[in-house]
Structure 1
Amino acid sequence: MAGLNSFRDVIEDMFYNDIFNALSAFVEDNPSRLENNSYRVQNPDEAALSDFKVQFVNITESEGNEVLFDVVVSAEVEIAETVRRNRETDGIEQWFRVSCTAELEDGIQDFRISDIQIYSKNRRSTQNNLSEYLVPIIYKEHLDNVAEKFLAKYYPEALTGPMPVPSREVAKRMGLDVQEVHITKTCSVFGQIYFSDCEARHYDSDTREYKPLAVKRGTILIDPNVFFMRNVGSVNNTIIHECVHWDLHKKFFELEKLYNKEARSISCQVQEGIRPERNRTPLDWMEWQANALAPRILMPIRQARQKIEELIEKNKRVLQTENMADIMESVVFELSDFFEVSKQAAKIRMIDLGYTEAIGVFTYVDDHYISNYTFERSALKNNQTFTIGTQDALVEYALNPDFRQLIDSGKYVYVDAHFCVNDTKYIRQNESGYAELTDYARQHIDECCLIFDIKARRNDRYGAKYYTECVLFRNIVSDTIIEAKYSSSPQNQRTEARAVELKKISNEAKRTANIMRGLPATFSDTLVAHMDRLEITVENLEEKSLVNARTIQRMRNDERYQPKLGTIVAVCIGLQLNPVFSADMIRKSGNTFRATEEHIIYQMLLNSYYQNSIYECNEILQANNCKPLTKEE
């Protein structure tokens, strides 16, 4: 929808003469009321309007199709005064407030001027105003009030106590018709609402082609395929989202229809990346409002708080634990089930209401949920996280020399989407022999894990913008939409100091130094020494490294054999070698790292990912179009 027209432009274009005539009569009748700064004419007894220019329009929200607005104009006025038979004239500028009403339906009807006054800035109100495009001006701190007003109008039962809000019933009460159709082939649009009768298009998955579909004004189309694929497009949220558009944004479309006959619907896409407020278009603001209000309508503030408190107390009794991560996981799940919203929507609503402990639950990164965790409230600032996906970690490792030096120090390992202090207080091995966070670490994540600054960015995978405003919390839709960058914050400095101190007092450092002093001089003998020390057979190492047993035997027994760098990396990961030992193995093999993407990934895997499985390492390489660490014949 290009070339949006403002209400100010429409009024000036269509009703200039009406305003001129009314203003001219006012000026002629009230010369003494003008704000006169003329030196030549002190007390005008005559005045005439020459011209005027619309400066801006103040528009007040009203029910139905009525529009109440003040047109503020700057006018050129000729004034005159007769003093002792001498006629003095001058020209002045005067601002006026022209109060008007009109009906906005299939054009502007019944335009009337109700009052004209000298303009005073003190009269300007910011309550219930519309923008110049007839979009409501809603401040973030007023969103819950707007949501309650919506419910009071269409479903007041929801304000009497906690209950799920039946989205289809709300739509029915608003006179809207909800239909399920496959809207697009790519599932990029999960909802549309139509403000005019028209012929729409829908995708027929049987014939694999787009077909026409006659829709009436007030029709909501929702795509069931999108709900299946992406949890952010849950049915209830989408229907209420479209209902908000109908309730708040009909006037915008009536305005646009004056000049653009194609203005008929809003398409709600799976989106990411929030445009800065100063650059938002009217369409952006309408989407922001619908996005922000839908969960607040489905989970109204007082009723949601009441239910959350009830669920917290219940789960403390049932789970018999004070571990808030486990309690909050259950609360989010039950809150989602009770209000019939997605887990992500329930989680974000809890955080919005001040339950920051919910940040560490149901966090979706790299196509899976990570373990729950908790932290001190003061540890994180807005747009910061302890969680970083492997792709962002690789980018930061490659581009940030300070972060790379920190990781290469061996003081941190990458575990469950966190860079955690490499100490047995925080890291343990699971039954499969791979690293995981200890219970203590999960309950004190701020004590042992690095913090990253985050921001939204374009998601080439979906080719759209992020649909939810909240960039702090990742979900199934937005697995790649957030860039995480290492933060040189005081909190990270404290964590780094703790890592250094733990390394000083750790017996592991002494043990590593003793082992290094006893290692043989050659690559083959060093490999044998590590396998003997760790009690790993050739068959075990083949399974853990995916390197062929025959290749491993050659590496052990043939000093002239020169294995590829990738093979050595796979063996080091299979042995879960400390980065000090891996670097020693690489050096003794005669290989060196180059400044290539593949070799940078190798280094990060060896320095921080070595306690994970070879399969996970291969996935990271393949995700970056690099060859996996596979068997070598």
Structure 2
Amino acid sequence: MNPDYAAATRGMCWYLENIRPVRTIAPFFQPVTNIRTDYYISATATLAEPATGRSGEPENWIFDVGVNLDLTPGYQRIISYSCRLANEIPEEEKEDRGITSVLMNQFFRPILYPGDYKLFAQHILKYYFPEAKKREIPVDPDVVAERMGLPVFERKLYGDYKRQGLACYEDCSFEVESNDGMAVIEDFPARSIIINQNTVKNPVTRAITIMHECLHFSMDTYYFLLQRMGREKAMALAARAVGGYQYDSSEISWMEHQTEKMTAAVMMEEDSTIKVIEEQLEKHHGARTPNYIRTIISYLASRFHVSQSMARIRMIELGYQEAEGVFAYEDGERIPDYGCSTGWKPGVTYARPGCPAGMRYSLSQVLSETRQISMRFEKPSAVSRLRRRVQRKPLMVKRQEAWPVERLWTHHLALRLIQLKKAKRPLPLTLFRKSQILT
């Protein structure tokens, strides 16, 4: 320590104000036994002398609170933590991203950009179903589940007609319907998948549900393990609801949205799907009329063993906007197929033949309002109803708000600066010095 600096600051303290969290950085691909998280906090620091009230110029400080966690079930603990002053907050890679560029947020949910779904899907197929690329065969969710070590149980969940499948992260017990129609308690092991036979009635729905739950284990295990570490009563399971979800901004909703989107990305891998679509378009001499597009959607559903709805949405995601007017529904009812010879353009209002003027609305605007991958015509007055609709809770068991990772170490020295700030106590100069790392 510089003796002149020590003499000049003797009897003075740092005061911290405007303390706020800025960013959490945690790479997604880490071992469960040692997950590193860096939690960045900004604050305004002022050097002052309590006896005289003399103070210097305020400085902007950034703290890097680093924590290593072991999330192994039954052994969950904080391995180590540290707090240091950082020069800057690292920028996230948004161009030339690889699979290792994927990060998690403060709830340990993966942060996925549009291009990440392709990377993640290829990663899943590489390790659990490489045949899809080598032999160009449909993905078999049963094989994926077996190779991931996830047993699949098919049961009738007693009185449950809302959920199609469950992913159990811990040992669970449920009421199931016996052969004589009575409710009995059955135990299921951790890392297992339950298919609800009350709602899953055909092989396609069964396959999609199994893949959906497999991807929960692949993408959301860290999230649920963190919830269990933070709250003993947190539910250690994920559920796929009948009819999908009405998405809001909650962590559970975003998690289900990502998993639904990833299910299509895995079962209809981007390069393979585009190849098949282009082959079918070439057979029809490039024509994209509603009749031809309907034929292609049906072929995709049969070729990849998925539903027509998933095939249609996947075509829209991959840029084939003509699929918007095929197999479309309005107010829950199927409407006649329609199309546009020049393709749908974002931000442009189209009118379907026979559609009243009051029913005209921009497809892309309705999409952004609902935040769902479904194109539909709506009355302008219905937009307010759509806004209210997406704010509802998902169709699943009500849960508490998600538990962020930073709550784990608030009782440790790493966040003592926040505790002292709330108590309006000064920080000793020897506690936070710019050249010092606290461990």
SS of aligned partner of 1:179: strand
SS of aligned partner of 1:246: helix
Residue in structure 2 matching 1:223, options 175, 178, 196:
196
1:261 aligns with 2:228: no
SS of aligned partner of 2:378: strand
The corresponding residue for 1:326 is: 291
Look up the equivalent residue of 1:96 and give its one-letter code: F
The corresponding residue for 2:159 is: 185
Look up the equivalent residue of 1:270 and give its one-letter code: V
The corresponding residue for 2:379 is: 485
Look up the equivalent residue of 2:133 and give its one-letter code: L
Tell me the alpha carbon deviations over residues 238-278 of structure 1, each in whole angstroms, 9 at most, x when there is no partner. 111111111111111111112133421112212456435xx
Q: TM-score, normalised by structure 2?
A: 0.68
The corresponding residue for 1:243 is: 214
Look up the equivalent residue of 1:228 and give its one-letter code: K
Residue in structure 2 matching 1:362, options 306, 327, 336:
327
1:376 aligns with 2:341: yes
Unaligned stretches of 5+ residues in structure 1: 1-28, 33-39, 82-87, 388-417, 422-447, 457-465, 474-482, 488-633
The corresponding residue for 1:170 is: 144
Matches within 5 A, 1:151-166: 151-160=125-134, 162-166=136-140
Tell me the alpha carbon deviations over residues 589-615 of structure 1, each in whole angstroms, 9 at most, x when there is no partner. xxxxxxxxxxxxxxxxxxxxxxxxxxx
Matches within 5 A, 1:80-95: 94-95=61-62
Provide the aligned C-alpha RMSD in A: 4.2
Look up the equivalent residue of 1:111 and give its one-letter code: I
Tell me the alpha carbon deviations over residues 304-333 of structure 1, each in whole angstroms, 9 at most, x when there is no partner. 10111122223x27xxx9563222222111
CA contact (8 A) 1:51 1:77 kept: yes
Q: How far is the alpha carbon of 1:370 from its aligned partner?
A: 4.8
Distance 1:30 1:173 in 2: 60
1:145 aligns with 2:54: no
The corresponding residue for 1:493 is: none
Tell me the alpha carbon deviations over residues 181-213 of structure 1, each in whole angstroms, 9 at most, x when there is no partner. 123535210111000012123345842x54322
Q: How far is the alpha carbon of 1:282 from its aligned partner?
A: 0.9
Q: How far is the alpha carbon of 1:377 from its aligned partner?
A: 3.9
1:234 to 1:261, Cα distance in 2 relative to 1, 3 A: same
1:313 aligns with 2:282: yes
Distance 1:383 1:184 in 2: 48
The corresponding residue for 1:296 is: 265
1:266 to 1:109, Cα distance in 2 relative to 1, 3 A: same
1:325 to 1:238, Cα distance in 2 relative to 1, 3 A: same
The corresponding residue for 2:103 is: 129
1:92 to 1:370, Cα distance in 2 relative to 1, 3 A: closer
Tell me the alpha carbon deviations over residues 406-435 of structure 1, each in whole angstroms, 9 at most, x when there is no partner. xxxxxxxxxxxx5269xxxxxxxxxxxxxx
Which protein has the bigger helix share?
A: 1
CA contact (8 A) 2:39 2:66 kept: yes
Q: How far is the alpha carbon of 1:335 from its aligned partner?
A: 1.0
CA contact (8 A) 1:72 1:119 kept: no
SS of aligned partner of 2:201: helix
The corresponding residue for 2:88 is: 120
Report which of the two structures shows the higher radius of gyration computed on alpha carbons: 1
The corresponding residue for 1:252 is: 223
Q: TM-score, normalised by structure 1?
A: 0.49
Unaligned stretches of 5+ residues in structure 2: 95-100, 382-439
Matches within 5 A, 1:513-532: none
SS of aligned partner of 2:127: helix
Tell me the alpha carbon deviations over residues 65-102 of structure 1, each in whole angstroms, 9 at most, x when there is no partner. 13221132457989799xxxxxx997976432233322
1:64 aligns with 2:37: no
Tell me the alpha carbon deviations over residues 544-592 of structure 1, each in whole angstroms, 9 at most, x when there is no partner. xxxxxxxxxxxxxxxxxxxxxxxxxxxxxxxxxxxxxxxxxxxxxxxxx
CA contact (8 A) 1:452 1:484 kept: yes
Structure 1, 281-290 or 353-362: larger mean CA deviation: 353-362
